[in-house]
Structure 1
Amino acid sequence: MAFQWQVDPEDLFVERYPQMVGTGLPAADVDEVRAAITDMWPDRSGGWVHEWSRLAGRYAAAGSPWRAALAYGWAKFPALADTPKRTALSRQVDQYLLAAPDFDVAFDRIIVDAPYGGGHVAVPVHVLTPPGWSAADPVLLASGGVDSWKMDLHGWFTELALRTGMRVLAFDIPGTGETSMPLSADRGFDVVRALIDHARTLGGGRVAHLGISMGGYFSARSGLAGEVDAAIVLGGPVERSFDPDRTWAYGMRGIVGNALGFDTEPTDTELAQRMSAFTLRQWLDQDRNAPMLVLNGADDVHIPQADTLVFKGRPETEVLLIPGTGHCAVSKFPEALRIMIDWLVASARW
């Protein structure tokens, strides 16, 4: 189930350029692709997937599989709405695995069997183990959101592993990437809960959960419910983001609609009805939670400040809005990363 929708590719470059160059692609190459792209969906010269895939092919031919994986990651962005996008994801996996022997951390790709809607689903998970990691150490479960997935954020997750000494289990949230079932609240959390349980078997039993963007919805829920030992929420929607009168920017309406499993572009009413089930108000009303760090950029166009500030005053919870940056503080990510690392290594917190 998937659909294409009207989106201006230049809008995506305006918002995502800092992430494109910040995750490892040379600015000159990104600028070249940006100048070549004139349309979002056609798989031909000037089309988004075509031009990004052409850059990825150049990297692959030059023996640079890591950059090829990054470029294929942008080729399949922002959603697996058609066959060329799904092909780009498959090629990203291939190039990522070719690059794995040169990672700065030990790498393993495992499949976790998770319950979903009365059945089970296979969830590919990437295990990143830093040098010197001990089996007694905690494990960090980590994911991105609806359009930036585990391979896209590999550099960030590797940095977290190296600087905290924690083994990182990276996954795609339901409805995205290689976790193919539709995004949902309760069923989606069943999948996340299975990953938490598995993470407890791969270390000393303690698990922290980092969620970025929509992934922050799931880490907020696991932290509020006390299902993990610590939780970090970076730019996560928790309540006001699911209001029926919310607005959508930079193609996010279609991105979320695809993640939710619609096969045609949903109406505002259909989207609002589906999103209303995600509110975390019942968990926010409880006065207990695991230790939590909740942060975001102060100028986020996707997530209202209220979804960060609502955590103020909760027990064992730190809340921070980083000024001068937007969604998930991407343009100031080194600062956000330092804050998260400092919080995680302060072991007395959890």
Structure 2
Amino acid sequence: MSYQWLMDPKDLFEERYPQMLTLGLPVADVDAVRGAVAEMWPDQPGGWVHEWSALASRYAAGGRHDLAVLAYGWAKFPVLADSAKRTALTRQTEQYRLAAPGFPVPFERRVLEVPYRGGTTPVPVHLLGAPGGPVLIASGGVDTWKMDLHPLLVELVLRTGVRVMAFDHAGTGESAVPMTADGGIEIVRGLIAEARAIGDGRVGHFGFSMGGYYAAHSGLAGEVDAAVVLGGPVRFGFAEENAGRLTFGMADIFGNALGLDRRPTTAELGRAMADFPLTALLEPEANAPMLVVNGADDIHVPQQDTLLFTGRRDTEVRLVPDTGHVAASKLPEVMPVITEWLGKHL
């Protein structure tokens, strides 16, 4: 299930422009699309999906499959609420596989069947890096998925030597099930088991935005050997009062991930998020080594969700000044910190 809502694309450009650039798209091309887009949903000239897909098609025709992946990633952004968005995701996957021979690291795509509510669910994963060593499972946010994060994931491989298992967590991307706290965590546990089996037994977890929530759970529960939480909501981000403050369409992006078919009220969204806070896991200190990072000016995730890790055993906390959610505008400075930490702990 999914739904559309009234949204001005200018707001999305305002918020996501730094992320568009730091993940690898040329400034001039992003600016050109920004100037052409006038509407969010119509699949026609001036529409978000149309203009981004046109850019992606030009990249593909020119053999720049790597850039086509990123552009199709923005075409399907922020949710798969219509056929045009779903087509953009399909084309992004096609371009990703075409780009794979040019990756600076080995690549393999697998579809894993992992336990889910008494049965199984398929989870497509992308393996980046050589087999034989530690494996780092990795996922993105409610609107930025595994292929969108490719430049960051390759950097993790090249700088640390880990093998990355990239996936879309429940309710996002190629996931076949909606996002829930218990179901999403069960899927992650299944992936951790798969990761231990294909590597040397050591497993880490890198989570970007909402993916950071699942990484926080894995780390706090001691289910992995090291966990990196980049901009993840943990406790206060799920409070009803925070749901009422969400901007740039985030409440509706989250509503789509939850599998809703209409816009929730703030109270309904608050109730839907009531099972997510990791409060119980914050009491004991049985956590794996953890690195918790976010921008100090995040408008989606309160600072408290980062600072509540301060003083925990085997935990390093960094609140990066002058940047927002996932420290997007300062990722070139943040990623070396993350890779150095992973190199020591994994």
Q: Does the pair score TM above 0.5?
A: yes
SS at match of 2:301: coil
Q: Quick one: structure 1 residues 107 and 134, their matched pair in 2 at CA, closer, same or farther if it must change by over 3 Å?
A: closer
* CA deviation string 1:98-135 (max 9, x = no partner): 11000000000011111222221100000001xxx561
Letter in 2 for 1:304: P
1:177 matches 2:179: no
**What CA distance in whole angstroms lies between the structure 2 residues aligned with 1:308 and 1:194?**
26
- Verify: 1:109 aligned to 2:109, yes or no: yes
Aligned to 1:36: 36
What is the Cα deviation at residue 60 of structure 1? Answer: 1.2
Structure 2 counterpart SS, 1:86: helix
Aligned Cα root-mean-square deviation (Å): 1.0
The counterpart of 1:148, out of the listed 144, 166, 175, is: 144
Candidates 198, 215, 231, aligned match of 1:235: 231
- Cα distance in 1, alignment partners of residues 199 and 68 from structure 2: 32
1:228 Cα deviation after fit? 0.4
Residue 269 of structure 1, CA deviation: 1.6
Shift of 1:82: 1.0
| 5+ residue gaps, structure 1 | none
Separation in structure 2 between the aligned mates of residue 175 and residue 278 of structure 1, nearest angstrom: 14
After superposition, give the CA deviation of every residue in 1:212-267 in whole Å (9 maximum; x if it has no partner): 10000000001000000111101000000011111111110111000000011112
Deviation >6 Å, runs of 4+: none
How many Å apart are 1:34 and its aligned residue?
A: 0.5
Is the 2:79–2:85 Cα contact (8 Å) retained in structure 1? yes
What is the correspondence of 1:239-318 to structure 2 with a 5 Å cutoff? Answer: 239-246=235-242, 247-318=245-316
Distance 1:23 1:314 in 2: 31
Q: 1:168 aligns with which of 164, 171, 183?
A: 164
Q: Distance in 2 between matches of 1:7 and 1:275?
A: 23
1:180 is displaced (CA, Å) by 2.6
Q: Counterpart in 2 of 1:220?
A: 216
Rounded to whole Å, the distance in 1 between the matches of 2:332 and 2:21 is: 13
Residue in 2 that maps onto 1:76: 76
Tell me what 1:24 maps to.
24
Aligned partners of 1:77 and 1:303: how far apart in 2? Answer: 20
SS at match of 2:273: helix
Distance 1:108 1:56 in 2: 23
- Aligned equivalents of 1:190, 1:91: Cα separation in 2: 29
Tell me, yes or no, if structure 1 residue 196 matches structure 2 residue 192: yes
| 3-state SS in 2 of match to 1:276 | coil
Cα contact 2:122–2:176 (8 A) shared by 1: no
Equivalent in the alignment of 2:339: 341
Alignment partners' CA distance in 1, 2:159 and 2:63: 28
SS in 2 for 1:265: coil
Q: C-alpha offsets along residues 9-36 of structure 1, whole Å, 9 cap, x if unaligned?
A: 0111111111112112111111111111
* Alignment coverage as a number of residue pairs: 344
Q: Which amino acid aligns with 1:314?
A: R
Unaligned residue ranges in structure 2 (runs of 5+): none
1:3 aligned partner, one-letter code: Y
- The code of the aligned residue for 1:250 comes to F
Q: 2:50: which partner in 1? A: 50
Query: Is the CA contact (8 Å cut-off) linking 2:131 and 2:198 kept in structure 1?
Result: no
d(CA) in 2 for partners of 1:31, 1:134: 40
State the distance in 1 between where 2:116 and 2:81 align.
22
Match of 2:86 in 1: 86
Give me the whole-angstrom Cα distance separating, in 2, the residues matched to 1:144 and 1:186: 18
Percent of pairs identical after alignment? Answer: 59
d(CA) in 1 for partners of 2:328 and 2:266?
28
Distance 2:59 2:340 in 1: 35
Amino acid at match of 2:16: R
Instruction: Letter of the 1:164 partner, please give it.
Output: T
**Cα 1:169/1:134, change in 2 over 3 Å:** closer
The secondary structure found in structure 2 opposite 1:77 is coil
